[in-house]
Chains A and B, each alone.
Chain A
């Protein structure tokens, strides 16, 4: 065994046994963050904090929720909402948190796209981030089943039907996923398991990978500048903090993060206390009924864009388009052929491409919420869905011809 001396403090005692000081140095005090960043760089920690709130509120909901088709609806809408002390608070934090986590994920994603933070050396950050997006989507969907209202049931019906693969007619697979001919008790309990255990476990693993894949390439900066981190770190450590291009993650960058989080949580709790209905669909306050479809089925706002890609096509084409749309963003680092790590406003056509993508996704989101019966909206949906699918090949072409930006010293 290694030789141990008597420790003079708890810190020293821990340092001898698990290398506490090394951990602190690698993860905090000597994890260097460029100075040239803005508030958008705080979204990662905002997401981590929101995930923390989702876990905490989820733990309290878990104590009274009953995953049984006869009991689930009342355990949420009666027991938790009106009997459990402050049960409403956990539910509203959980609902608002689930909605806002997607808002911040989208901002975080588009920040990464705008500044080219997925380029060579940072591919794994993008891929693990997209993995997190998929895992959070699965988490949101499985959680949406749990109150067992009309929207839970019919969203479960529609989404599991996607697995029949259109003309493949794989109804056996659909029944296997449900454990029944229609969403029933087996379906509810298995999605409960996924929601409270398996998917959160995957999410936590992916968060560790996401943070880990960030440590060596470091976070990007507003100009996409190649920073000599060792040189900049030496400047900081020798006291020339003003001249150095970097700051340590903790405590300097973190204090900036905490400020942004403060602003964010004002919005968050404003919604929790005064506008909690924004994350609660009124249709889901009717108990699940397999013999009555709601007049208009639509997902929560954060899935509308991909739902709208499914809608305007025939069944098989719609499924293929939907599949491509779900997977396409994963390939971004490999579709973008430009060597430039630079903000979009310095990349010519790429800037137009970026804002076109934002506009298309917002348009698809708006159209996804509208009833499908209006021919004008149906036509617009088709146009924007096709436009979305063309954005991938278009990115490949325009970045292939993008001029290399010569960076000044």
Chain B
């Protein structure tokens, strides 16, 4: 009899525990997760317009989008063309997020060797943002969502040129 009661109490204890765990874990856990999410104001501030007409060949311009540096490099005629280039009229531009795909340092542009060099772990990217194999960066510099508007770029919105690159697997 006493044993039966003990079993009943154990069962009720476990039922209460399980309910509390689901309630607290689910409810508060979800609230806690949402509290750590980026705020709507942070997300809303995610659009930037960049004027490409001021760019000079082989001179890197660094702009800012969502707090990240954006590389814009107008290619010279000698530089190899790539499907990742942003093409406006006869001009080709390399445009990417200027963060090394290894751990997120900003590579420096070396005008003479025409490469991007990351000082943190020695990664190297060419003028199309392609990583040199055998070094820590596992993938090319990322291209942010962009839309071509005349001679300007709207970053944060995916235009047809960007979608084409994305579908071709040229960026993530």
Which A positions have Cβ atoms within 8 angstroms of B? Answer: 154, 157-158, 161-162, 166-167, 169, 175-182, 184, 186, 190, 290-297, 311, 313-316, 318, 371-373, 378
With contacts A176-B36, A180-B38, A291-B62 taken as known, whether A372 is within 8 angstroms of B103 at the C-beta atoms is no
Q: Which A-B residue pairs are the 4 nearest by beta carbons? A: A182-B67, A181-B66, A293-B106, A161-B104
Please, how many angstroms separate the alpha-carbon atoms of A184 and B101 in the complex? Answer: 20
Name, among A161, A177, A293, A372, the residue most crowded by chain B CB atoms within 10 Å (CB to CB). Answer: A293
Q: Are the C-beta atoms of B39 and A179 separated by less than 8 Å?
A: yes
Q: Are B38's CB and A296's CB within 8 A?
A: no
Query: Within the complex, what minimum Cβ distance (angstroms) separates B62 from chain A?
Result: 6
A186–B41 alpha-carbon span in the complex (Å): 12
Q: Does B69 contact A (CB under 8 A)?
A: yes
B64 within 8 A of A: yes
**Within the complex, what minimum Cβ distance (angstroms) separates B6 from chain A?**
28
Distance in angstroms between the alpha carbons of A178 and B66 in the assembled complex:
13
Contact among A182, A190, A294, A311 for B136, CB-based, below 8 A: A311
Q: How many residues of B contact A (CB 8 A)?
A: 29
B36 interface neighbour in A162, A167, A179, A313, Cβ under 8 Å: A179
- Nearest residue, chain A, Cβ from B119: A295
Contact between B62 and A293 (Cβ–Cβ < 8 Å)? no
* A355 to B13 Cα, complex, angstroms: 52
CB distance from B152 to the nearest CB of A (A): 20
B106 to chain A: which residues have CB within 8 Å?
291-293
B42 part of interface (Cβ distance < 8 Å): yes
Is the CB–CB distance between A315 and B38 below 8 Å?
no
Is A372 touching B38 in the complex (CB atoms < 8 A)?
Answer: no
Decide if A314 touches B68 in the complex (CB within 8 Å): no
Q: Cβ of B120 < 8 Å from any Cβ of A?
A: yes
Beta-carbon contacts under 8 Å, B89-116 to A: 101-108
Q: Chain A residues near B38: list those with CB within 8 A.
A: 175-176, 178-181, 186
Chosen A-B contacts, 21 in total, with CB atoms closer than 8 Å, are A158-B103, A158-B104, A161-B104, A176-B38, A179-B42, A180-B38, A180-B42, A181-B66, A181-B67, A182-B66, A184-B42, A186-B42, A290-B68, A290-B69, A291-B64, A293-B105, A293-B106, A297-B120, A315-B101, A315-B102, A373-B122
Q: Is B119 within 8 A of A371, CB to CB?
A: yes
| Closest B residue by C-beta to A162 | B103
Chain A residues near B37 (CB, 8 Å)?
176, 179
From the candidates A184, A293, A313, name the one contacting B67 in the complex (CB within 8 A).
A184
Cα A184 to Cα B67 in complex, Å, equals 8
CA distance A293 to B100 in the complex (A): 11
Question: Would A315 and B136 count as touching, CB distance under 8 A?
Answer: yes
Determine the distance from Cα of A36 to Cα of B33 in the docked complex, in whole angstroms.
Answer: 52
B105 touches A290 (CB 8 A): no
Does B46 touch A at the CB level, under 8 Å?
yes
Shortest B103–chain A CB gap in Å is: 5
Residues of the A chain whose Cβ atoms lie less than 8 Å from the Cβ of B138:
166-167, 314-316
